[in-house]
Structure 1
C-alpha cells in the first residue's frame, strides 16, 4: 500500500522537483506505514533523508499545537472562545481602548481566520528583541481588509496562551516526536536564508517565528513522521482530543474553515478522493497533515521543498492533492 501511495512523491524526488519526501499513513486501529526518499540536505553537505529526521512543520504548528492549546484552555474554563482576546491580553491596543477594532476580536475569530488582519507582515524587520516585537504586534494599528488566512491571527493566539499560562509555548507538553525547536535529533535542511546568511537546519524557517524567539503561535514546531502520525492517531481514535475539541476541528465555522483546520472542498490540498469528513492543513516548508474521519485514516506528507531556496517551482501544489488521491486509492483498493 505505501509504495502505491508514495508514488507521486517518489517521482517528484526522482525528477529533482524536491530534495526529499517522507509519507506516513495511520489507521484508526493503529496500523501505520511510512517511507522516505531523497535527501535531508543537498548543501552545504549532502545528507540522506531517514524516518528519524525532524521536519520544520511550519504552519502545521497552528493545528498540532496552537489550536489544541486554545481548545484545551477553553475546556478548562480559562477562556471563552467567543470572548475577546482582551480577556487574556488586556493591553491589546491599550492606547485606543474605545476605538480599536483589534480589541473586539475573539478567540474564535482568530481560530477560524474570520478577522480583518493581514495574511502576513514582515515583523522581523522591525527589530530583533522578542519581547519588543510582541509589544509591536499588540500595539500596532493593523490595516483592515477582508478575512484571509492570517499568521497574525495565530501570533495573537500564541501570545494569549503565554499570558494565560505564564509560560512560553515551548513549555506546553506535546507528544513524543513533537517539540518546538531546536529538535533533539537530526534535522531536515530548509532554506538558505538571505536574512540570516546560512542554510537553516534545526532552526525555524519562518522569519517571524525566529524573531519572536523560535516558538510562536503560527510556526516553530518540529516533528518526526512518527510524532505527526501519533498526533493524527489521537484524533482518529479520540485518545488525543475530547469530544468537544473533535467537534470544533471538524465543524465548518467560516466557509470551509473549522477551528484551525480546512475541511475538504473541491481542488483543495488533500485531493478529491477523500471523504467530506476530511480536515487538513499545510505548512510553507512543504509539510502537511490530513485526517479522513469517515475512513478512519490520516496521512502526512513531509518535504523540504524550500531547500535550498523557496524561489523555484517545486510542484508542491500539485504533489499534495496527487498524494492524497494516491493514498485513498491505495487504501480503498
Structure 2
C-alpha cells in the first residue's frame, strides 16, 4: 500500500508545489483496516501560514450528504419510519401546503437521494435573510422553478429538514455526527477555506457553505472530519460494520446512469477516474474533498484539499487532479 499511495500522491504533490492548491491529505484503506496517509503543503496561507498535517480537520462540504444524511435516511427507512417511495410530505406535510397540486408535494425520499427531482442545482438561500427559522419556512413554501433532474443541494436540504422533524430537533447539528466527525473544528487544527465576502473573514473551523451557515445546519453540508475519520467510515462500508447490509446495498444500487442512493457511480468523466470497477461509489465536496469506495477491490481512497483557500475564483485544477489520482489507484 505504501508503494501505491506514493505513486498516487505524485500528482497531488505536483499540484501543491505548483501552488494550484495550498495543501492536501491523501489516504487509502482496505477492508482489513490497512491504511496509508500522505500530506503536503499548508492548511492555511493567509493571514498566517500553518502546515498541513495528517490530523488536519477539513470542512467536508458535500461529503456530508453521504457520510451523515444518506446513512441516517436509509437507517430510518429500514426501521419503517420512512417509506423511501413516499412523498416528502409524509414527514413534511407543510411543504407547499397552500398549493395541494404543487409538483414539490409529489417528490419522494428516493428521488431526493438519487437527485432525480426538478429542483435547481443551487439557490442562494442565504441571500433571503439570516433568520434560520424563517429560511426554513421559505424553503418549504417557495414555488421552486422546475427543470431537468440535476445534482441539487435542495434535495438534501429537504432531507435534512425531514431528519429534523423525525428526530424532533430544531437543528441537525444537535445530532451526533458520527465517530470522528463534528459540526465545527478548532481553527488551529483546521484547513482554512475561503476569505468570505459576506462574513468578512477567513473561514477556518466553521462551515464554508453559505446556505448551511445561514440555516445553522443542513443536510447537504456542514460536517468536519480528518482523513483518518473519512477512511474509517469507508472501511465500515467495505467490511459491513458501518451500516446494515440492506443500507449498503442501496448505496450501491443505481438509480440513474450516474447516481445511486446518495452516491455517485462510475460514468464517463466522473471524478473517480477511468477504469473504476462498476461496484465503486464516490462523492466530492466543493471545498476540495472527495471519497471513493471500490467494493470489487475492497479498498477506498480519500483526497482532502483546501482548494478554495483563499478563494474559489481560481482554477485549482481539482477536477483533473481527482481523476489523475483515481486513475493511478484504479490501475493498481
**TM class, shorter-length:** over 0.9
CA 166–108 in structure 1, closer or farther in 2 if over 3 Å, else same: same
Residue 75 of structure 1: which of 75, 78, 91 is its match? 78
Residue 173 of structure 2: which of 170, 175, 195 is its match? 170
Report if aligned partners of 2:274, 2:330 keep a CA contact under 8 Å in 1: no
Tell me the CA shift for residue 328 of structure 1: 2.9
Q: Residue by residue, what CA displacement relative to the aligned partner does 1:264-303 show, whole Å, maximum 9, x if unpaired?
A: 1122100013211111000000000000000001000000
Q: What is the alpha-carbon root mean square deviation over aligned residues?
A: 1.2
Tell me the CA shift for residue 178 of structure 1: 1.1
SS of alignment partner, residue 189 of structure 1: coil
2:307 aligned partner: 305
Equivalent runs, 1:85-100 vs 2, <5 Å = 85-97=88-100, 99-100=101-102
Aligned length: 328
Q: Residue by residue, what CA displacement relative to the aligned partner does 1:205-235 show, whole Å, maximum 9, x if unpaired?
A: 110000001x211100111011101100000
Residue 322 of structure 1: which of 305, 321, 324 is its match? 324
Q: Tell whether 2:19 aligns with 1:16.
A: yes
Report if aligned partners of 2:42, 2:52 keep a CA contact under 8 Å in 1: yes
**With structure 2 as the length reference, what TM-score do the two structures score?**
0.97
Tell me the CA shift for residue 181 of structure 1: 2.0
Unaligned 5+ residue runs, structure 1? Answer: none
Report if aligned partners of 2:238, 2:299 keep a CA contact under 8 Å in 1: yes
1:5 aligned partner: 8
Q: Distance in 1 between matches of 2:232 and 2:174?
A: 19
Q: Distance in 1 between matches of 2:10 and 2:187?
A: 30
Q: Distance in 1 between matches of 2:109 and 2:178?
A: 24
Tell me the CA shift for residue 173 of structure 1: 3.0
Equivalent runs, 1:1-333 vs 2, <5 Å = 1=3, 2-97=5-100, 99-167=101-169, 168-182=171-185, 186-213=189-216, 215-329=217-331, 332=332
Tell me the CA shift for residue 51 of structure 1: 1.2
Tell me the CA shift for residue 142 of structure 1: 0.1
SS of alignment partner, residue 62 of structure 2: helix
Q: Distance in 2 between matches of 1:293 and 1:260?
A: 16
SS of alignment partner, residue 281 of structure 1: strand
Of 115-124 and 167-176, deviating more is 167-176
Of 5-14 and 174-183, deviating more is 174-183
Q: Distance in 2 between matches of 1:116 and 1:219?
A: 20
Of 190-199 and 167-176, deviating more is 167-176
Q: Distance in 2 between matches of 1:291 and 1:313?
A: 27
Q: Distance in 1 between matches of 2:128 and 2:235?
A: 40
SS of alignment partner, residue 153 of structure 1: helix
Tell me the CA shift for residue 174 of structure 1: 3.5
Q: Residue by residue, what CA displacement relative to the aligned partner does 1:156-195 show, whole Å, maximum 9, x if unpaired?
A: 0000000011123223334332122245871110000111
CA 291–185 in structure 1, closer or farther in 2 if over 3 Å, else same: farther
Report if aligned partners of 2:273, 2:330 keep a CA contact under 8 Å in 1: no
Unaligned 5+ residue runs, structure 2? Answer: none
